[in-house]
Chains A and B, each alone.
Chain A
């Protein structure tokens, strides 16, 4: 079997264990509520959002419904993979795996792909359902490019949180630390990042929360590149012509690349030096 074949086989085993495990069964109702549920709500023809805005295109609805990905799917990604390494370490399986002639980087890649697939597959399934819901409610489909960006960017944000959780798991000697680290990172970027943005704006003399103030919009746009959730929204906004936060598409995709490559590299490094 080739190296790629071995990585794929190992990732399949990880994926299947998680897909048919009890955790996903517990999380599935949350994902259903957050993904198709939000798509249903935001595609309501009578909906009026704060500020008097009304989503008028399928992509706008998907953009607003992406809050479900940020709040629900990323949390599920963390909860599926927070003990991806630490559980094997405590059970002795890690020592057994590290003693096999498969390079550690390949093992790390298999773990990443396996845990990522275990959350991406149900989320992608529910996203297809979102598209059907939007079509049903608005009698229109998003364009192929919009769908592609929606799926790719969602896949990326799930990958980032999977990577964060696995990195945490390599450091943790027991499950409590791993979950605290994984959920802590999720909580920071999901709930506390707005506070960081506000503090930086205040310190820079920018009027906080003024949606019509170009300097606030530009600052918020730039700071969002430092957060995975912010980059995710930037990616989706590339398909919303009415939104311009002063960040070019190439900068957004570069940000996405860095958020992918850097934690991936960190995890590989950690796996190389891992002691059972």
Chain B
């Protein structure tokens, strides 16, 4: 694989949370955050950052955007040289789209974009181009108060693209976008990646990312659990090559398929229909079933976030998805090898 554009080693940022005592009412302690992160970003690659609520996705993106400082570890980059060098301020090279920006006020769309553009020394010509790119050209004189949620989201995307960033960070960019806009956005991201921009997209919905990302990073409780090409990760977690076949009637599927080598995963039978889930040899299984009974549908199964997380953590789905508050506060690994709260 090519040399990384941006590289984090043992990066850590933990939020300082209030922990008052009788004698020290202003006392603070290290709370949840991101710990021991090793991650590389590659030019032209789209990385999907996935994890449940409270996993540390936004914290990590803010670290990458230069908003939150690294308390431990180091970051190196190849922005202006051919080899990785430590970099102090990432903000010049990184475009960041926060999760939710409530654009409001009497300013026009263009004025709002110019205001942020001034902070980056972006020429006005570029701003017109960006408004075109995100489909807001016809709305450039609209007041911010009159924008819909989707349009505000587009404006946030435009601000992230100011200054032609080499790394683009998008925090839950699909929120508020209608399906058409989401499709257009997907194409836009792919186009930027093809131009050599390293894109990081955070989302808790893997389905949205499926067609878009080249690599996936699984984050949970502030720790990077697994990272790599989506197929590689699925294969490592034993979640690849899974299929689901549905059919009608009452069928003894097990006996029908006893002579075909495959791995049974799940079978559900009700009055009129059945569903069979398995791994491996899809053609043989399908042919056998179609010869013996009525098959109504067949499809490969893409893993969802919960499955991925369950596979990497060994936890049950309810432990991951329903206890967000406590999971974010659970003990985290420390450099000493122990755990602290």
Mostly, the A contact residues are helix
Contact partners of B94 in chain A: CB under 8 A = 99
Contact A91 B102 (CB under 8 A): yes
> CB-CB < 8 A to B99: which residues of A?
92
Complex interface: stretch among A6-14, A196-204, A253-261, A263-271? A6-14
Minimum CB–CB distance for A250 against chain B, Å: 37
B104 at the interface (CB under 8 A from A): yes
Instruction: Compute how far the CA of A275 lies from the CA of B118 in the bound complex, rounded to whole angstroms.
Output: 22
**Which of B59-67, B228-236, B333-341 binds A?**
B59-67
Given the known inter-chain contacts A9-B118, A10-B115, A276-B62, please indicate yes or no for A95 contacting B67, CB distance below 8 A: yes
Closest to A13 in B: B115
Choose among B67, B106, B107 the residue that contacts A276 (Cβ–Cβ < 8 A). Answer: B67
Quick one: CB contact mask for B140-168 with A, threshold 8 Å, 1 for yes? 00000000000000001001000100000
Do B118 and A99 touch across chains, with their CB atoms under 8 A apart? Answer: no
Asked if B92 lies at the interface with its beta carbon under 8 angstroms from chain A, I say yes
- A6 near B101 with CB under 8 A, answer no
**Bound CA span A93–B96, Å:** 12
* B181 vs chain A, min Cβ distance (A): 19
Residues of chain B contacted by A99 (CB below 8 angstroms): 65-67, 91, 94, 96, 98
Q: A1 interface residue, CB < 8 Å from B?
A: yes
Q: Count contacts between A and B, CB distance < 8 Å.
A: 68
Chain A residues in 8 Å Cβ range of B119: 6, 10, 97, 100-102, 107
Q: Please judge, given known A-B contacts A6-B121, A99-B94, whether A92 and B65 are in contact too, CB under 8 Å.
A: no
Cβ contacts under 8 Å, A13 to chain B? 115, 118
Please tell me if the beta carbons of A98 and B67 are within 8 angstroms of each other in the complex.
yes
- Determine the distance from Cα of A3 to Cα of B44 in the docked complex, in whole angstroms: 32
Which of A6, A91, A100, A101 has the largest count of B CB atoms less than 10 A from its CB?
A: A100
Determine whether the beta carbon of B120 is less than 8 Å from that of A92.
no
Q: CB distance B98 to A96 under 8 Å?
A: yes
A95-B67, A99-B91, A101-B89 known; A6 and B102 CB under 8 Å? no
Residues of A within 8 A of B179 (CB): none
- Tell me, in angstroms, the Cα distance from A97 to B115 when the chains sit together: 10
Are B105 and A17 in contact, with the CB atoms below 8 A? yes
- Interchain CB contact (< 8 A) of B91 among A17, A20, A101: A101
Bound Cα distance A1, B94 (Å) = 20
Chain B, Cβ-Cβ closest to A98: B67
- B68 touches A (CB below 8 Å): yes
Question: Which residues of chain A have C-beta atoms less than 8 A from B207's C-beta?
Answer: none
Bound: A100/B65 CA distance, A: 9
Complex interface: chain A residues within 8 A of B103 (CB)? 91, 93
**A97-B102 in contact (CB<8A):** no
| CB of B283, distance to nearest CB on chain A (Å) | 50
Complex contacts, B104 vs chain A, CB 8 Å: 91
Question: B118 and A96: CB pair below 8 A?
Answer: no
B107–A17 CB distance below 8 A = yes
- Is there a chain A Cβ closer than 8 Å to B100's Cβ? yes
B263, chain A: closest CB distance, angstroms: 46
Contact assessment for A97 and B116 in the assembled complex, using a CB-CB cutoff below 8 Å: yes
Nearest A residue (CB) for B59: A275
Given contacts A92-B100, A276-B67, whether A100 and B105 have CB atoms under 8 Å apart is no
Q: Which one of A6, A17, A93 contacts B118 once the chains associate, using CB atoms below 8 Å?
A: A6
Known contacts A20-B106, A91-B102, A96-B159; can you find 20 more A-B pairs with CB under 8 A?
Answer: A6-B121, A10-B115, A13-B118, A17-B105, A17-B106, A17-B107, A91-B104, A92-B99, A92-B102, A93-B103, A95-B67, A95-B98, A96-B101, A96-B156, A97-B116, A99-B66, A99-B94, A99-B96, A101-B89, A101-B163
Binding site for A on B (CB under 8 A): 15, 62, 65-68, 89, 91-92, 94, 96, 98-107, 115-116, 118-121, 156, 159, 163
